[in-house]
C-alpha cells in the first residue's frame, strides 16, 4: 500500500510538472492597420464585435497598431472604444509604406506624422511596427532607422508569428461582394486551423533555433474575420495550454534585445533570428504565408458557394421596413441581474444595400449600455430563403431562416450553438400591430414542442430626417 501511495503521488507530481510546462507557452494578441474603413461590417460594428469577443474570451489587453491615414471623424471614436476596454495604441505609420521602396527622409516623416496623431492618446505606447514587417534591405538604412526610432523613444513592435490573415479576409470579402453563399462555420474552422498552424510553426522554429519558446507576439489585422472569430481562436489556444498575455509583457522577452543581423525580417523576429542561426528559407515558409495555398484551402473548406437566384419582393420590402432603430421597454423583465430599462436593435444597410447589418444592445435610463448580438440578414439564393446569422459573446452563433407565414407575420427559426452551451433551436414570430412590432420568442423542447418565452413591442425611433 505504501508503494502504491508513493507511486500515485509520483505520477500526480509528474502530471503537474507536465501541465505547468505546457502552460508556460505564452502569446500576446496584436492587430495591424487599425482602425479599418467600412467593409461588409462598418468600422463601428467591427470594433464592437471585436471588443465583445476579446472580453468574453478573457483577453484583458491587446495592442492596436494604428495606420493614421484611416483616421477620420467616423473612425477616431474607434480608438476611444479600444482604450475604454483597456487596450493599447501604437504606431504603424501614416501611409503604410515599404521602407526599402521609399526615401528614408520621406519614410521618417511619415512615422512622425503618425506619431503626432497618436501621442496624446492616454493608452498610447511608443512601439513602432514596420509596415509589411519591412525593416529595410540596406544595412546603412536599417541602422539609421533604428537610431531614428531610438531618438523618438520607440521600441520595435516586432512579431514572432507571421501569417496572411489579411489574405483570408480578402478571399472572404471578395466572396461577399460576389453575392456568394458564405458558410461561416467553415470560415471559422479555416481561420482557426491556419492561425494555429502558424503559431505551432513559429514555436517549433523558436525551440529548434533559439532553444526555447519565447513570449510570442501574434500578428493579426483589424478586420471582419477577427471580429467574428478572435474569441474562438483564443479559446482554442487556451485549450492547447497556452496563456494569453499583454503585449507589454511579451515585449519584455529577451528576444526584444536580440536584433537580427539578417536583412530579411518579413517573417518576423523568430524567423529572422533562425536565419541568423543557419535556418534555410525553405524551413521558414509556411502555409499561412502562401496565397496560393490559402486560396486552395478556401476552396477545399467550401467556405463560399456561387449562387444567383434573385431575392423576392416580400424580402426586399421587409429589409426596407426594418432599416432604422427600434426600441422596446424591458420593464416586465427587469431585475438585479438584468438591469436594462429598455432594449434597442439597430438595422443598417450592408454592402451594396442587398443585406442588413444589425446589433442588439441594452439601455439604462435612456443611455446605451451593453451590446449583446450582431446580425447579418441576407437572401440565401441557393436555399431560396431569407437567412439570419447572429453572433454573440463567448463564440455564440445563431443561424436560420426567415419566411412570411401570413398577412404581416414573419417567422424566424434558428439553431444556436456555443463552445460552452448545448445547442438549441429558437423561433421568433414578428407581427405588425397598431402599437408597434410585436415579437414573441419560443424555445423548442426535447419533445419538439415550442415553449413561449418573452414578448416585446418594438417602436421605430424617429430619425433626423423625420
- Assign 217 to helix, strand or coil: strand
Q: Is 30 exposed, middle or buried (0-12, 13-18, 19+ CB in 10 A)?
A: buried
Averaged over 215-225, what is the pLDDT?
98
- Reference 250, options 27, 24, 23; nearest CA is 27
Averaged over 379-395, what is the pLDDT?
88
pLDDT of residue 21: 43
DSSP annotation of 1 = -
Bridge partners (DSSP) of residue 143 are: none
If pLDDT is split at 50, 70 and 90, which confidence band does 448 have?
confident
pLDDT of residue 306: 74
Q: Which of 131-140, 170-179, 307-316 has the lowest mean pLDDT?
A: 307-316
Residue 253, number of CB atoms within 10 A of its CB: 20
Q: What is the mean pLDDT of the chain?
A: 91
Q: Are 167 and 294 in contact (CB under 8 A)?
A: yes
Q: Is the dihedral of CA 148, 152, 158, 163 positive or negative?
A: negative
Task: Give pLDDT tens digits for 80-119.
Answer: 999 999 999 999 999 999 999 999 999 999 999 999 999 9
Q: Is 187 exposed, middle or buried (0-12, 13-18, 19+ CB in 10 A)?
A: buried
Q: Is 421 exposed, middle or buried (0-12, 13-18, 19+ CB in 10 A)?
A: exposed
Task: Give pLDDT tens digits for 131-154.
Answer: 999 999 999 999 999 999 999 999
Task: Give pLDDT tens digits for 17-32.
Answer: 444 444 489 999 999 9
pLDDT of residue 380: 86
Q: Is the dihedral of CA 115, 118, 124, 127 positive or negative?
A: negative
> CA 58, CA 26: separation in Å to the nearest integer?
14
Bridge partners (DSSP) of residue 219 are: 30
| H-only helix segments in 66-215 | 76-84, 104-118, 139-152, 165-177, 184-209
Amino acid at each position: 500500500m505504501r508503494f502504491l501511495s508513493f507511486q500515485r503521488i509520483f505520477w500526480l507530481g509528474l502530471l503537474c510538472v507536465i501541465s505547468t510546462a505546457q502552460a508556460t507557452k505564452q502569446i500576446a494578441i496584436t492587430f495591424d492597420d487599425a482602425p479599418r474603413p467600412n467593409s461588409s461590417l462598418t468600422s463601428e460594428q467591427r470594433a464592437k464585435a471585436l471588443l465583445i469577443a476579446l472580453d468574453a474570451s478573457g483577453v484583458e489587453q491587446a495592442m492596436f497598431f494604428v495606420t493614421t491615414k484611416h483616421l477620420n471623424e467616423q473612425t477616431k471614436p474607434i480608438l476611444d472604444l479600444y482604450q475604454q476596454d483597456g487596450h493599447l495604441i501604437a504606431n504603424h505609420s501614416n501611409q503604410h509604406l515599404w521602407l526599402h521602396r521609399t526615401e528614408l527622409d520621406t519614410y521618417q516623416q511619415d512615422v512622425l506624422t503618425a506619431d503626432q496623431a497618436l501621442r496624446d492618446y492616454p493608452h498610447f505606447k511608443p512601439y513602432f511596427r514596420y509596415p509589411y514587417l519591412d525593416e529595410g534591405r540596406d544595412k546603412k538604412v536599417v541602422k539609421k532607422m533604428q537610431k531614428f526610432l531610438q531618438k523618438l523613444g520607440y521600441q520595435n513592435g516586432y512579431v514572432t508569428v507571421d501569417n496572411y490573415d489579411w489574405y483570408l479576409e480578402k478571399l472572404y470579402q471578395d466572396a461577399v461582394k460576389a453575392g456568394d453563399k458564405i458558410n461561416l462555420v467553415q470560415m471559422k474552422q479555416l481561420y482557426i486551423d491556419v492561425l494555429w498552424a502558424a503559431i505551432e510553426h513559429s514555436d517549433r522554429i523558436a525551440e529548434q533555433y533559439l532553444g526555447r519558446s519565447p513570449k510570442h507576439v501574434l500578428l493579426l489585422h483589424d478586420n471582419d474575420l477577427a471580429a467574428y472569430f478572435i474569441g474562438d481562436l483564443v479559446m482554442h489556444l487556451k485549450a492547447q495550454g497556452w496563456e494569453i498575455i499583454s503585449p507589454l509583457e511579451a515585449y519584455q522577452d529577451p528576444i526584444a534585445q536580440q536584433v537580427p543581423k539578417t536583412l530579411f525580417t518579413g517573417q518576423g523576429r523568430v524567423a529572422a533570428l533562425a536565419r541568423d542561426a543557419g535556418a534555410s528559407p525553405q524551413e521558414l515558409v509556411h502555409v499561412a504565408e502562401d496565397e496560393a495555398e490559402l486560396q486552395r484551402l478556401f476552396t477545399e473548406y467550401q467556405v463560399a458557394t456561387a449562387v444567383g437566384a434573385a431575392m423576392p419582393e416580400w424580402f426586399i420590402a421587409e429589409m426596407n421596413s426594418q432599416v432604422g432603430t427600434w426600441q422596446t421597454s424591458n420593464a416586465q423583465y427587469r431585475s438585479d441581474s438584468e438591469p436594462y430599462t429598455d432594449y434597442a436593435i439597430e438595422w443598417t444597410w450592408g454592402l451594396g444595400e442587398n443585406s442588413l447589418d444589425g446589433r442588439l444592445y441594452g439601455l439604462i435610463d435612456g443611455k446605451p449600455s451593453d451590446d449583446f448580438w450582431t446580425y447579418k440578414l441576407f437572401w440565401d439564393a441557393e436555399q431560396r430563403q431569407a437567412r439570419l446569422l447572429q453572433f454573440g459573446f463567448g463564440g455564440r452563433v445563431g443561424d436560420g431562416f426567415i419566411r412570411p407565414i401570413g398577412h404581416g407575420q414573419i417567422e424566424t427559426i434558428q439553431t444556436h450553438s456555443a463552445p460552452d452551451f448545448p445547442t438549441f433551436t429558437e423561433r421568433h414570430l414578428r407581427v405588425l400591430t397598431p402599437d408597434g412590432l410585436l415579437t414573441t420568442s419560443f424555445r423548442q423542447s426535447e419533445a419538439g414542442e415550442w415553449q413561449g418565452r418573452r414578448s416585446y413591442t418594438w417602436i421605430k425611433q424617429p430619425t433626423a430626417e423625420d
